[in-house]
């Protein structure tokens, strides 16, 4: 029997009633999880709190039927070049001459954690109006605003600070849901190029879920396949891949309107991810906010980008089921901002 948790059956406030605490930014749930658990410590997990022992156990019992495994991690060197002029993946293989008597080969890697398959942690994106990260962590506690304002205040070698990616260690496992919108679009005469601005609406997501027979549950981990990696792997030219590295990025994504914000809120996902450079459509056509503001800063919901959902889509079609057990172990980087997901779906 799984250990009970105060987050097993959470009654969330309506979106229209937010913020939870008076004085916080509109739409913020800050302080809610501490209220539910009666904890005096500031929460750093956000919606990951919903991945409780009972939900994990139930998902393992209902979703694992075939013993089939599926990686959700794109090859680390892709896309190449990296987007937004970020430092791309570097890999160096070499012999270790210091170890005598045999051929001992090591390798070294270097990368920006935002350049490929990734989870965005809760101090990657601050609320656009106030510079606050999740649960009232101010930008001045994350970045040294003196000088050029670019240097972070803490690294892995410093004392643990709030909202680092390390807090997700041993926390991400549960029921995953794939909305294969790319396949749904092809089957229903919806034509778009994944490397061009195109929006997927809340109504699109509902229709896709209905066509797949998906029933959502509180605490699900949502994956949306919009076809970007399929395009990159099978259709993109070298010139198009190079163009992706130059801002502004153009790509399909979730529409950024209040209807989509409320749809996401009402489903209370533990985390969301897609196969696109940003979960939202790019470039942003709004003057101010992004979905990143809501998910990361206001709700504490990790966002995944550039997940490889191609094999997952194939297995879901073969089995005619779009739910599965999923685990993910971000790199244990103390005070990290983002991480490759090391994600695995199990059927």
Confidence of residue 162 (pLDDT cuts 50, 70, 90): very high
pLDDT over 80 at 147, yes or no: no
Confidence of residue 330 (pLDDT cuts 50, 70, 90): very high
Condensed to tens digits (0 to 9), the pLDDT of residues 270-287 reads: 999 999 999 999 999 887
Residue with tokens 């399909």: 252
Position 262 in a domain: yes
Position 107 in a domain: no
pLDDT over 90 at 245, yes or no: no
Condensed to tens digits (0 to 9), the pLDDT of residues 65-117 reads: 999 999 999 999 999 999 888 999 999 999 988 888 789 999 999 999 999 99
Do the Cβ atoms of 243 and 190 come closer than 8 Å? no
Closest by CA position to 299, among listed 142, 125, 138: 125
How many structural domains comprise the chain? 1
Position 13 in a domain: no
Rounded percentage of the chain residues whose pLDDT exceeds 70: 100
Position 242 in a domain: yes
Condensed to tens digits (0 to 9), the pLDDT of residues 303-325 reads: 999 999 999 999 999 999 999 99
Position 53 in a domain: no
Position 22 in a domain: no
Cα–Cα dist 82/110, whole Å: 13
The pLDDT of residue 306 is 98
Range in 239-253, 296-310, 318-332 the model is least confident about: 239-253
Confidence of residue 247 (pLDDT cuts 50, 70, 90): confident
Position 135 in a domain: yes
The pLDDT of residue 259 is 98
For 233, the 3-state DSSP assignment is helix
Cα–Cα dist 89/61, whole Å: 38
For 199, the 3-state DSSP assignment is strand
Position 221 in a domain: yes
> Residue 141: which domain range?
67-80+112-346
CATH number at residue 164: 3.50.30.50
List the Cα angle 160/40/267 in 5-degree steps. Answer: 85
């Amino acid at each position: 029997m799984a250990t009970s948790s105060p987050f097993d059956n959470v009654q969330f406030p309506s979106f229209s009633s937010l913020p939870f605490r008076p004085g916080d930014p509109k739409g913020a749930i800050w302080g809610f999880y501490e209220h539910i658990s009666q904890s005096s410590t500031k929460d750093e997990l956000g919606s990951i709190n919903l991945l409780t022992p009972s939900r994990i156990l139930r998902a393992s019992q209902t979703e694992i039927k075939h013993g089939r495994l599926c990686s959700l991690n794109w090859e680390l060197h892709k896309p190449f070049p990296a987007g937004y002029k970020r430092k791309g993946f570097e890999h160096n293989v070499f012999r270790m001459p210091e170890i005598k008597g045999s051929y001992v080969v090591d390798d070294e890697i270097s990368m920006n954690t935002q350049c490929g398959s990734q989870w965005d942690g809760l101090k990657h994106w601050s609320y656009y109006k106030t510079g606050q990260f999740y649960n009232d962590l101010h930008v001045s506690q994350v970045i040294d605003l003196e000088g050029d304002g670019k240097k972070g205040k803490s690294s892995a070698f410093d004392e643990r600070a709030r909202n680092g990616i390390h807090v997700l260690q041993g926390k991400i496992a549960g029921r995953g849901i794939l909305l294969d919108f790319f396949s749904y679009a092809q089957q229903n005469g919806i034509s778009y190029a994944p490397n061009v601005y195109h929006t997927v609406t809340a109504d699109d997501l509902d229709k896709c879920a209905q066509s797949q027979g998906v029933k959502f549950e509180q605490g699900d981990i949502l994956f949306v396949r919009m076809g970007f990696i399929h395009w990159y792997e099978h259709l993109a030219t070298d010139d198009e891949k190079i163009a992706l590295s130059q801002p502004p990025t153009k790509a399909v994504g979730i529409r950024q309107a209040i209807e989509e914000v409320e749809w996401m809120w009402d489903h209370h996902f533990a985390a969301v991810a897609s196969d696109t450079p940003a979960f939202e459509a790019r470039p942003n056509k709004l003057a101010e906010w992004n979905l990143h503001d809501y998910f990361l800063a206001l709700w504490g919901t990790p966002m995944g980008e550039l997940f490889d959902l191609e094999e997952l889509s194939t297995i879901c079609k073969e089995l005619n089921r779009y739910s599965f057990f999923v685990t993910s172990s971000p790199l244990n980087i103390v005070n990290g901002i983002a991480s490759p997901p090391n994600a695995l779906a199990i059927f």
